[in-house]
Chains A and B, each alone.
Chain A
Amino acid sequence: MDHDDDPADWDEIDEGIAGDDPRRTAFDPSEPTGLRDRDRPHAGDGDEPPSELRPRGPIMTVLHGYRIAADKLAGVLGVLSAVLIFPTVVISVVNLILRRVGAAQGRNLTTNALIEAQWYLYTLIFVFGLAYILRDGINVRVDFWFGNRSSKTQSWIDLVGHLIGLIPFAYIGIKYSWPAVKLSWDAREGSPDAGGLARYPIKTALLGAFVFLMIQGIAELIRTIEFLRGHEYRHASDDPALSGGQRYAVDDFDVKSATTSGAERS
């Protein structure tokens, strides 16, 4: 899906975001500022959308295709991650009720499977969430210096960082998880507690977290390159095609957006 030919109407996006829930404007002060200038494709390097996009070569076209696919995957993972909150809460409450009722009756109503299901689900929340927050640029940054750099400088920093920090980390994660997960599979590792859940699926999920991180890490690298070449958004969260007009990433609970807008003002 190629949205580059479709110069978005920025004001409309801003309104669309702010207007989606009347209370959001009151509670989410980072919203009214809308898209930050420096996060827009910098071909125009100003308030206008990119008017002139450089044509992509064959390599960039392939990379672009990969990046779009990865972004979509991360989007799905983000939704999964948020959805999982609800069963986690429910299981934890049910578990508490069973435990207390059981204690009152002198019986053991809860099972190890139920107890373990709590942290299995919680683990899945971040296994899926890691790639998503990467895609939408939700990070803890110390940005009193960074926040005042141009978007180009910031992207160069990100590019170097991705190459030295993010991608090697994902690689190390996969490399050191693989033998442990394989061992767990070979033994069909169960729970040390009676009646608990099998361990090998959740260990596989933890390996999966690094695989997703690698997939999205490479996509981030591509996005940064594309942005530096003048034909992409800096964060997926700024891309209306991906976020569907709703930017959950920019959120008053989100550490990064608040500090960034703060730093911009100062």
Chain B
Amino acid sequence: MINSEILALIMLGLFMLLIMVGYPVAFTFAGTATVFFLIGWAQGDMEPAQLNGLFNRWFADSAANFTFLAIPFFVFMGAVFEKSGLAERLLTTIGLILGPVRGGMAVAVVFVGTLLAAATGVVAATVIVMGVLSLPVMVKYKYDHELAAGAIVASGTLAQLMPPSLVLIVLAQFIPVSVGQLFAGALIPGIMLSAMFAMYVLMVAYSKPGSAPAIPRAERTLSASDLAKQFVLAVVPPLGLILAVLGSIFRGYATASEAGAVGAVGAIVLAIVYGRLTPNVLWSAARATSNITSLVLQILLASTFFALVFDRLGGQDRITTWLESVPGGLWGFIIASHIIVFLLGINLEFLEISFIVMPLFIPAAIALDVNLVWFAVLMAVNLNLAFISPPVGFSLFYLQSVAPPEVSTASIHKGAIPFMGVQCIALAVLTMLPESVVFLVKASGLGNDSTNSTDFMPGSFGVRLVICIVGVALIGLFWSYRIRRKYGRGVGGSDSDVDAPEVALA
């Protein structure tokens, strides 16, 4: 006879272990819940009648759910973008434009990664497209493999954060905020992360000779006017579509799901305009959409069952009590939740984390009066980190699966680490500046008193902004100094030193 709360905690712990075995996550949820329900029943802690609410929960959460209605639309939009070759065109064009600059290809990857991230909202798609298209090119132009791979995984993973994204839609299910609010809140942080990635790439390109050479003049065949034309043709329409979709949500003109449907139609129209729409593109996009939607719902249905058993055993209350009593109040809770999500993120994917952890965090977050939009965006950035953390970051797997043979797994893993550093800095900045999240929520008029509040933050915005800028600048200077010391011509400096990383990796 075990205390039912303890039983619930064992259930959670055992689930975390079992998930590592590799059986599908959804049915691991279900299996663990079934077994512990039976144990609870045998002990007299639970009765079958306690699960009677299950159907109504399923119905309300899974079926009659306007939030999740947006999932098929945005996935379909991204799938059409990708399968019709529009994504490829985008990447090629920006690569041509930025190629002549040192590190330009990698900056192009960051830029396009951000755009594709917004367009597709699915990490696997973004990373794989960019890995297939740009990694071989960067290898050919003798880019440092680590830098090239890191730029791809880091910016591709932005698909999690850049609205409209699957992750934000799923998070909105568990957090009592609307998808529109989350989209509005995540846009500036997403752009900020992307800018910081680009700055890091440029910093390395200019600090470490030979790491990211410009495309030789002889190979630049297109004239400036051709490039401009290409840019207008390939970049402006998709960018316009994304902005229109987001804008209509932010302006309250359409709900997230309606805007998603318009985006899906828009993607089809673009594909028609470019002459890239075939029945096959349309059909495989529909199949991919049906698969991903079913996948998310499969896990949702099973985790609802898990959560109900967990709750009935008293686990939910226990965890909420713990999280509320973490020393340090609000900040203790924020830090604790970051650590938990980061640790879980090493092994789990965002779906599992959202489904397991968010329902546990949210009651405590509400009790502590945390700004929930801000909290959700921080969690999404943290999940980004999880995606690129070696050895089991999912983005790393995606890239490995498509990397040319000369790019070793080790260099992909090593390449991701500095970008994790950049994300940690970004996370700190976002934590210090909740205004960066709140600004658009407020400006779009989607927010309310609680989501617009930044009162929990001590000090004025200006002071914190200055601290952040100075901090980031100092870290950047120190970082580039370290790189120069390690590789610079001035200090260690012969040509063989410069070439060493490439030789070692080749």
Name A's B-contacting residues (CB within 8 A). Answer: 20-21, 23, 26-27, 29-30, 78, 81-86, 88-89, 92-93, 95-96, 99-100, 118-119, 122-123, 125-126, 128-130, 132-133, 138-147, 149, 154, 157-158, 160-162, 164-166, 168-169, 172-173, 176-177, 179-181, 202-203, 206, 209, 248-249, 251-255, 258-259, 261-263, 265-266
Contact = CB atoms under 8 A, between A and B. Distances in A.
Contact of A140 (B30, B82, B351): B351
Contact of B397 (A23, A81, A262): A262
B305 to A, nearest CB: 7
A255 B69 contact: no
A130 B302 CA distance: 12
A206 B299 CA distance: 15
B257 A92 contact: yes
Interface secondary structure of B, over-half rule: helix
Contact of A252 (B125, B349, B392): B125
Given A126-B293, A140-B24, 18 more contacts: A26-B132, A29-B128, A29-B402, A78-B290, A88-B73, A88-B261, A89-B264, A122-B68, A123-B63, A140-B25, A143-B22, A161-B23, A161-B27, A172-B54, A253-B124, A259-B397, A262-B396, A265-B401
The 5 closest A-B pairs by CB, nearest first: A146-B22, A165-B31, A262-B397, A129-B294, A169-B30
A141 B28 CA distance: 10
B64 A119 contact: yes
Size range of the chain B interface in the assembly: 35 or more
Interface secondary structure of A, over-half rule: helix
B298 A96 contact: no
Given A82-B289, A146-B21, A126 B349 contact: no
Contact of A130 (B88, B298, B348): B298
Contacts of A122: 68-69, 72, 293
A158 B283 CA distance: 30
A93 B55 contact: no
B258 interface: yes
A254 B73 contact: no
Contacts of A126: 62, 293-294, 297-298
Contacts, number: 266
18 contacts: A27-B82, A81-B294, A119-B65, A125-B293, A129-B294, A133-B291, A140-B349, A140-B351, A144-B347, A165-B23, A165-B27, A165-B30, A172-B51, A203-B55, A206-B63, A254-B288, A258-B124, A258-B128
Nearest to B122: A253
B24 A92 contact: no
Contacts of A168: 30-31, 34
B27 A144 contact: no
B53 to A, nearest CB: 9
